[in-house]
Amino acid sequence: MIDNIFSLEDKVAIVTGASGGNGAAIANGFRDYGAVVFNLDIKPGENNDNFIECDITNKESLEKIIEYIVSKYGTIDILVNNAGVTYGGYSDEVWEKTYNVDLKAPYILSKMVAEEMKKKSNGSIINITSLNSELAFPDNPAYITMKGGLKQLTKSLAYDLGKHNIRVNNVGPGYMKTNMTKKSWSDPKTYEERKNKTVLQRWGKPSDLIGITVFLASDASSYITGQDIYVDGGWLIKGL
């Protein structure tokens, strides 16, 4: 039935960093479409349904969580690697911290979850990238590098996992009004500058990510893999 094509009924999903902001919106959207959603985050927040406290850079913790979810529900159908950090500057510490959260953790978690998805030859992995996987912003080399790396990791995984009917895609948010960007959107001048970069003349909201992620998680996108989809108000296509 065409009206069920976006249904996530009986699907089991993991969304990292879903205690607030973009992750919370995605997790809530999945629930609205019928999924059972687990929020893996380092601390609780506005979204505590099925919250599992987790440092995603700790491989042993991830293994235990995957084992627990599979023992309870039998499978994992959807993974959204949303958790991320950003720090300015060129210190080695910043580089390592950003790498561990923004690139290494999605790699490790995707490998683990893919092993479960292979058992039923079905699954969807969605990596949350950024405008910075395409564009350089000042004084933020670690974040830009890791998001660019995540973009390419997605294509590699999509290629290798396609034979198992596991799809892997990127969603790249533009400037969204979250705690991570609060310094920018709370400054009137910066707010206007960022808004004017877009074609739609507004900042994004976390809820703007619900439609595309539900689409990519559902059977509606069953022939789509390895793609980059930017939810940026048209920032990337704007010339003069």
- Residue 40 carries which side chain, given as an amino acid letter? L
DSSP designation for 103: I
Catalytic annotation, pick one of 143, 191, 223, 230: 143
Residues comprising the chain, all counted: 240
What is the rounded distance in angstroms from the CA atom of residue 72 to the CA atom of residue 167?
A: 24
Burial of 34 (0-12, 13-18, 19+ CB in 10 A): middle
Q: Which residues contact 99 (CB under 8 A, 6 or more apart)?
A: 142, 146
Q: Are 39 and 63 in contact (CB under 8 A)?
A: no
- To the query of whether residue 230 is one of the catalytic residues in this protein, the response is no
Q: Are 72 and 48 in contact (CB under 8 A)?
A: no
Q: Which residues are catalytic?
A: 143
